[in-house]
Structure 1
Amino acid sequence: MAKTKEQTKTDTRIAALERLIRGYQESYYNGEAEISDAEFDILWDELKELHPSSPVLAKVGADNTDGFPKVRHIIPMGSQDKAANPEEFRAWAAKTPADSYVVQYKLDGASLELQYEKGRLARAVTRGDGIIGDDITQNALKMKGVVADLKTDFTGGIRGEVLMTREIWRKKYQDKANTRNAANGIMRRKDGAGCEDLKLITYDASVSGNDGYFPDEIAKLAWLTERGFETSPTKEFSDPEDIIAYRQSVSDKRKTIPVDIDGLVIKDRRTDMADLRRARPERQIAFKFELEAAVSILRRVEWSESGATYTPIGIVDPVRLAGTTVQRANLNNPDMIRAMGLKIGSAVTIVKRGEIIPKIEGLSPMDAQEPDSGKTDIEFPETCETCGTALTDGGTRLYCPNPDCPKRLLHRVEKWVNVLDIRELGEKLIRQLYDKNRVRRIADLYTLTAAELGEFERMGELSAAKVIRHIRTPRSLSLAAFVAGFDLEGVGETIMEKVTSAGFDTLEKLRAAPAEAIADVYGLGEITAKTIADGIADTAPEMDAVLAAGVITIADPPSADTQPLRGYSFCFTGELTAMKRSEGEEKVKALGGSAKSAVVKDLSFLVTNDPESGSSKNRKAADLGIPIIDESVFLDILAHPEKVSDYAAAGAKSPGGGGKNKKGKETAQGDLFSGSE
């Protein structure tokens, strides 16, 4: 029976996946991985779904033909099954119930089996294809953590991971992609050069001819420690939910651990040698961390309209990333699409650092292995959907150039309300006012009356009066905030702060400055400078009308005497009681300080009314040694800014670190990990 077109397409894809996986396995086991674990897992999972019985899935590694003696493993070094998220782990735990689970770090290095005969090291064997590996004994003897004489009659195998610390990698091996690549390549050098920079951490052992030698996994680890080996930090849990919580706590602090880890390994405490001999053991699993970077396929591009700007959004195959399922990712602008060479059908790398929106960072390395057939160019919109004007492709942005485009005018009013944080004036009400031609410019807001607002549906007298009161509350804005409120394309308050700090610190100076002079400001380019100069000129009548209403004033340029917080930065998390967060930020800026939206390395203070919370900002501030202050201290700094240096010198007030999981028992750990828990 002839195959359908869909079957033929599936067979072609299976063949391509098998070819890619074989090639990447060979490069991985020969020490120079071409793609990340995340990218390899994408390929592996797709093949597993399309062809579960593929022989490639049963093959662990690659055959090495580089001249090292070949040695058979005492017990096959198979691959672990993996769980990429809590749901998959719960499914495994339900299928593999145990009274107690042993949990260790999943070390991201190169596997090695030490083979002993009557207590003396006979061979050190790389993973190879899982059955046969390379004998690199002389290299292994140069590594830290390898014990040549066990002072016992032990005959069997000890398994471990060869690692390089990030500190050594930074100092000596940054030509390698990562610590794992460096360790894998160095340990297989013919002359053994550099092996002294490597360390072995052990996690398993087996005795030839005696499967019952170790009563359980905890006893096995204790035996390894007694023999002089270092083992990974180990905990014991009875409840899978506690393991899920522990995984999150380890993931949060993984950057403080000296070596790279990419998850946890979970085993039944009971030792099962028959299970260990399987190509893919069933009673243990690798529970991987949520990814900060992942790989998917770009399926189409949507263009999001915000004011006059059209921003490309990539629609990709669903992928797990930093705890969420991602299907939409930013592409920023036309130049990025062109620079990356993106097409519909491209394999792309997606990042989600911290709490920001997912972003397509570029083509995945595996995209180069895929033929271009079936990929199509990304189409750009050509005309504004609102006013029909031909769009301008400025490279860094695609936008409608019509200054009177209705969507552009509406967005400017919305931006102004957002900058001033007038929360009572919601988006729906602004649109109603705009559609009725009552508010078309920012200055129109300051002519509104409560009686007019009362005519709108569900707007009572008290509510209308409250909105008007907030609109007309006198505000003194910094010049940067004032200009940012007029929604110049791609120009926010941060950019304007750079401009005003460079000496263009009054509206008059800004209006007199040519684009060429603004372009000289550090960190600005010609395009942004021209946008600012043109925007200042175009919006001059509207700016004057806003100032003429008498509600908004522009603060005087700060002087040395009025900038006691210059050089200090503040980030706020949670709500303040004495003022809105936006007001707190304005007060900081008025005193010469800066307000940041995220916890970064050079932050001076994190302000929160819940210093003991386990929020991501609190944890990051504590990890970076940033002082965490409450609102009372913040208010004291505002009232007495001369005290700011004293508060900064006092150091961080550490939030409660959660403590040890009461259901998790710990075993001893070696020197490498001391302090990392």
Structure 2
Amino acid sequence: MTIQQQIETLREDLRAHNYNYYVLDNATISDFDFDIKLKELEKLEEENPQFFDANSPTQRVGGGITKNFETVTHKNRMYSLDNSYSKEDLLDWEKRIQKMLGTDDIEYTCELKYDGASINLTFENGKFVKAVTRGDGFQGDDVSKNIRTIKSIPLHLKNDFVTDFEMRGEIILPLGGFNKMNEERVSNGEEEYKNPRNTASGSLKLQDSAEVAKRPLDCLLYQVVTSERKYKTHFESLENARKVGFKVPKTITLAASIDAVFDFVNSWDSKRHNLPYETDGVVIKVNNLQQQEELGYTAKAPRWAIAYKFKAEQVSTVLHEITYQVGRTGAITPVANLEPVQLAGTVVKRASLHNADQIEKLDIRINDTVFVEKGGEIIPKIIAVDLTKRPESSAPTKYATNCPECNTELVRTVGDAKHYCPNEFGCAPQITGRIQHFISRKAMDIDGLGGETVDLLRKEGLIHNYADLYDLKVEQVIPLERMAEKSAQNMVDGIKKSTEIPFEKVLFALGIRFVGETVAKKLAKHFKSIDNLMAADLETLISVDEIGERIAQSVIDFSQDLGNIQLIDRLKSYGVQLEVSAENLANQTDKLQGKVIVVSGVFHQMSRNELKKAIEDNGGKVSSSISKKTSFIVAGDNMGPSKLTKAQDLGVEIITEQDFINLIN
């Protein structure tokens, strides 16, 4: 046996033992014998560096230092999940997807919702390539060195699977390991970690991977993302993922009906407390992968999946004070300052009171004993008052009349839930908030510049608005607290590079009220430039698909403000992209203008997403359901029979994939 063969044999042997121990929970070798084999492999690899393999079992001990985690764009976006809190919510969801699919023949999978840190693992030709955190869903941080240390994640697959794919999962810290870590910290006189979820998430960003290797992290996997059509169902893909080495929990269950889903939810609502890790709900998914494609996504979440959240933990505590926060749009949010209390693994000191109506509805007062829960077990909120403990001297809460930051009188328009500070350009939190929004990842994505630095720059008088960023010089920034020459240069370079950000993101970055990420894309696509948008009247704006009067009026208000006009002119002078690039315009036509098109079935020349993009690039609108408004259907193989029947009943034209390609070309 050659040296290379000895090395490969040892690697395969150690991988098998790792899989049996960490995935199957069935040790097939003693720890001592495993360590002997590992040391033998380490010695051979050290003596023969030409056979180095980043995915070797010897690399799991860590040791690499990562000072700055590289930001990586996800190949496939990591969406959030819509939440439900009642069986009525689930029934409503089922009705929606039945209507869209045109059938009630839908099978579901039920999976426990693990409470950890989301991760995206990329594999090519059966080998681990990289691991990226969820981030904002569009891009995250490359934490590959740290992920390699988690022994339940295979770095080299046992058998044939799909060729190139992504594996989505949750990095967790099992309760036993978490408790043991805290015992060690207490014995060393250190403060305990607050909860397993935050500790797991924080572990992924430790600079020393050897420290990560010491933590008993685990990874539970729940989705295969691939363009290959090897498997027909989500369940089948996970079953095969488990066979090749992935730790897919065996709690995943098939449900033939929504009643079976309810049975799963009811069963685990009590059994979950016996699990070795934390879970806060159940994820229900449409099992058939073709049906998943048909349903697609909203701007934020897949239509084919929903999370049912178990009833949140509640505690009672005393409300000491109500303060008011000012957002970047001037919106005022009342905040309850509470007697600190332990809730769902964290110490809660503050809770949102939402608005004046909510305070009045619950009759919340200073010194009340209130019941607090985490909405979706994330954001603390007050749900009720314990009136039996209300002090006799209690008086109703009088909502703030003036801005807590600049003392400007607050305004509230008819139909609006919140009060607003109208001092847009003179109220410090609004100024800082708008700039922080401008530089954020989904907007201008400026490297080397964070929220605290923005606040510092404003306080030092170096910036008063987001256009001022482009005038900053390195020598102005260096004297700032905690700012060295290199970091100052990185900031200025990052600001300059942001002039390459495309128009749709710039439009979102401007912070026009009610113009979120999705609306910004629609407006950018329709008007092509900021000049066209700012010149549009109300009638023109509301003629754009899904743009209502409230959004339209907000755009007009922004466009008519002299301060905003001056800001836009300055951004133009710095080279910021305030129109759709010539390259993108070259790919867009009006061939499908006014057409409402449904895409259904399996396609071969273009992916479903490419088809939808081609429709939008040529001025058409993609719809998920067939109606009298449908112009035509692009049908691939296996179009749903109920959709076919509905199309025929309504007399809607059906064309093939090739017909569509011919049409747009």
> Which TM-score tier does this pair reach, normalised by the shorter chain?
0.3 to 0.5
Query: TM (normalized to structure 2)?
Result: 0.38
Structure with max Cα Rg: 1
